[in-house]
Amino acid sequence: MPADAAKVAIVVPTWNRRDDLVRLLASLGEQTRPAEQVVVVDNGSTDGSAEAASQYNSQVIRLPVNRGFAAAVNEGLRVVRTPWVGVVNNDVTLSPDYLQLMVEAASASDAAFAVGRIMSAKPGMRNTVDGTFDLLTRSGCAWRAGHHRRDSPTWRTRRMVHFAPMTAAVFRSSVFEEFGLLDEEFESYLEDLEFSARLARAGLVGVYVPEAMAWHGGSSTLGAGSPAMIRLISRNQMLLAARHLPTRCLWRVFAGQLLWGVLALRCGAGRAWLGGKWVGLRNWRRWRSRAPNSEALLRALKSCEADLRQLQEQTGWDPFWRWYFRLMP
């Protein structure tokens, strides 16, 4: 591969979490294929994150307020000029060969993007998978494959995938030029699924590279299961479904969202779930007007559901997905 064709830039959206950001930037400095450009987009941090980033030879873009993940990523994407661009969360650290393995695998398989095997960085959970690739269903509900599973050979097999979590993913820059930037209406959560859905509609796929490893703190910004997080996910599920899911899938959307609501209620987040769904319903018609049907996307969703069922059977059923497949065989 020509050297210029393998050049990669990194976009890091950040909001506070200065110490996490410093660990990430240090790991980027140790890459066997160094990033040509590191762009840190600071979402109005108040803990010195921007100042710390400037000490690591990074280009820092300062936003006056927190505009959300999608807007921050877009600001970074607008200034990169390399054939490849990675989007990496601020609470991730990368193995030294991460970028090299990702670019080589995507190039060899002619993939639009690459995702790696991301492990939990939490104490006592270093042998636990945080996430690999995303699997989106015809209901608008998704599973980050491997989340909270013990690491095993199941998660160490390279494969082609349809949906890329932007925890630590590498894309061909050309896909952003052709299909646009992230949808800022999502703010945070599921914006990566929405972007991947655009690629799936065009028949593009990515590659999962389990040899490329990273470690993720997880839910550092809003906190796992926080009302703000549940409200955004609840709303954005509706936005994603309105934008992309075919009309024939709407009964699955209704059933899947009710089932997800039961889960939110059990977690004490029923009010946040209702708040998100109410916003989604109020905007459904406006969002829906932009959603043409796509047979390529439908095939990708069916493939995801088959993979999701198989992986759940192999590694143990989550109650949500057991009920999901009972209701929607």
Indicate whether 313 pLDDT > 80.
yes
What are 235-248's pLDDT values in tens digits? Answer: 999 999 999 998 88
CB 216 within 8 A of CB 130: yes
Same domain for 232 and 173: no
Same domain for 304 and 269: yes
Same domain for 187 and 54: yes
Residue 163 DSSP one-character state: B
In terms of Cα–Cα distance, which of 110, 299, 279 is closest to 197?
299
Strands 113-120 and 168-172 come out as antiparallel
Residue 329 DSSP one-character state: -
Same domain for 292 and 176: no
What are 48-101's pLDDT values in tens digits? Answer: 999 999 999 899 999 999 999 999 999 999 999 999 999 999 999 999 999 999
Same domain for 317 and 195: no
Q: Which residues contact 115 (CB under 8 A, 6 or more apart)?
A: 102, 132, 133, 161, 164, 165, 168, 169, 206, 207, 208, 209
Q: Domain with 60 in it: what CATH number?
A: 3.90.550.10
- What tokens appear for 233 in the block? 């996910």
> Which of the listed residues 216, 247, 269 is the one where a domain comes to its end?
216
Domain boundaries, position 156 = 8-216
Same domain for 72 and 176: yes
CA distance 162 to 203: 9
Same domain for 202 and 253: no
Indicate whether 222 pLDDT > 50.
no
Q: How many domains does the chain have?
A: 2
Ramachandran category for residue 187: left, alpha or beta (phi over 0 → left; psi -120 to 50 → alpha)? left
Residue 1 counted as domain residue: no
CA distance 314 to 156: 14
What 3-state class would DSSP assign to 44?
A: coil
Indicate whether 218 pLDDT > 80.
no
Same domain for 210 and 232: no
Q: What is the pTM of this model?
A: 0.94
- What tokens appear for 23 in the block? 């660990």
Same domain for 260 and 180: no
Indicate whether 216 pLDDT > 90.
yes
CA distance 234 to 150: 28
Whole-number pLDDT of residue 6: 87
Same domain for 202 and 233: no
Residue 222 counted as domain residue: no
Residue 284 counted as domain residue: yes
Whole-number pLDDT of residue 171: 98
Confidence band for 219, pLDDT divided at 50, 70 and 90: low
Confidence band for 291, pLDDT divided at 50, 70 and 90: low
